[in-house]
Structure 1
Amino acid sequence: MTDAPDDRPAARVVCLDRDGRVLLLHWYDRVARMDVWEPPGGGIDPGETPLEAARRELTEETGLPGSAVLDRFVAVERDFSWLGVRYVKTEPFFLARFDTVRPHVDPGELTEEEHAAYLGYAWAEELPATVDPPELAKIVERLTEESGGGAH
């Protein structure tokens, strides 16, 4: 594992279907030899806003329309390792809502690295023990509060 943490900016999307299920992507970290479930998302490219990155990443990783991503996020402190690299940063988690039950996911634009790690996806009613970030349930709650408390 590298000594210096990587702080590359990234954005994630909490997707909710009509019945409130959360879309999670299932990945396998071959370095740590563990699997993890997480919302879609990834790095912010130079010149891209966090919202633009969230919309692009959603489409690339799931085939779902990026236009579903709302301009509403919560900032989430992250400290995790992936493929031997430690990431320490604050990521915006955006919200996307879908009017159907379990919209079809087609991860057609994964990178080579993502293809090697991708195990599938689920529209989860309950969050698995290996969800990242571990406080995802609280993030979903904050994103969906009617009053907007804590969201931007």
Structure 2
Amino acid sequence: MEDATHRPAARVVCLDADGRVLLMHWRDPLDGHDVWEPPGGGLDPGEDHLQAALRELAEETGLDPAAVRDRSVVVDRDFVWKGRRFTGPERFFLARFETARPALGRDGLLPDEREQLAGHAWVAVGDLAGLAGLDPPGLAEIIRRL
């Protein structure tokens, strides 16, 4: 595997009315491993972290980006996707939704994302510790910090 790459990125921790967190379920097209993580992704040229968080939430979920709060925590990431290792800090933002398990849309996904997105789940924070493929593994602590 090649050297690690740092890609500036932003993620959104979405909590529903019952305190469940939204996780996107991705399947790596290279080796088939599963990743469960909050919606988000890399910054586009000229974007700041909050702008990227708003855009990524809308693209990946169809949820209203107005729910994202302008407060974040920095999280060190270290993960492998498509045979590349990504390391470095990402900003995690919080969004709260007033309904239980708001419905998601897939219209904003790119064609490769449509193929790699295996689904999503609204997960109780207490159930995160036992979830295989959770990234970052310390997500419950990140939620507490937010």
> 2:107 matched to 1:108?
yes
> 2:139 matched to 1:136?
yes
Provide the TM-score with structure 2 as the length reference: 0.94
Q: Which residue of 1 aligns with 2:21?
A: 22
Superposed CA RMSD in Å reads: 0.9
What is the deviation of 1:111?
Answer: 1.3
What is the deviation of 1:31?
Answer: 1.8
What is the deviation of 1:105?
Answer: 0.7
SS of 1:96's equivalent in the other structure is strand
Structure 2 stretches lacking a partner, 5+ long: none
SS of 2:35's equivalent in the other structure is strand
What is the deviation of 1:89?
Answer: 1.2
Give the share of equivalent positions with the same residue, in percent.
57
Which amino acid is the alignment partner of residue 94 of structure 1? F
Indicate conservation of the 8 Å contact 2:106/2:114, yes or no.
no
Cα distance in 2, alignment partners of residues 142 and 8 from structure 1: 23
Cα distance in 2, alignment partners of residues 91 and 81 from structure 1: 15
Cα distance in 2, alignment partners of residues 120 and 36 from structure 1: 11
What is the deviation of 1:43?
Answer: 0.7
Structure 1 stretches lacking a partner, 5+ long: 144-152
What is the deviation of 1:129?
Answer: 2.5
| CA deviation profile, 1:14-70 (whole Å, cap 9, x unmatched) | 000011000000010122321111000001011111001000000000000111110
Provide the TM-score with structure 1 as the length reference: 0.90
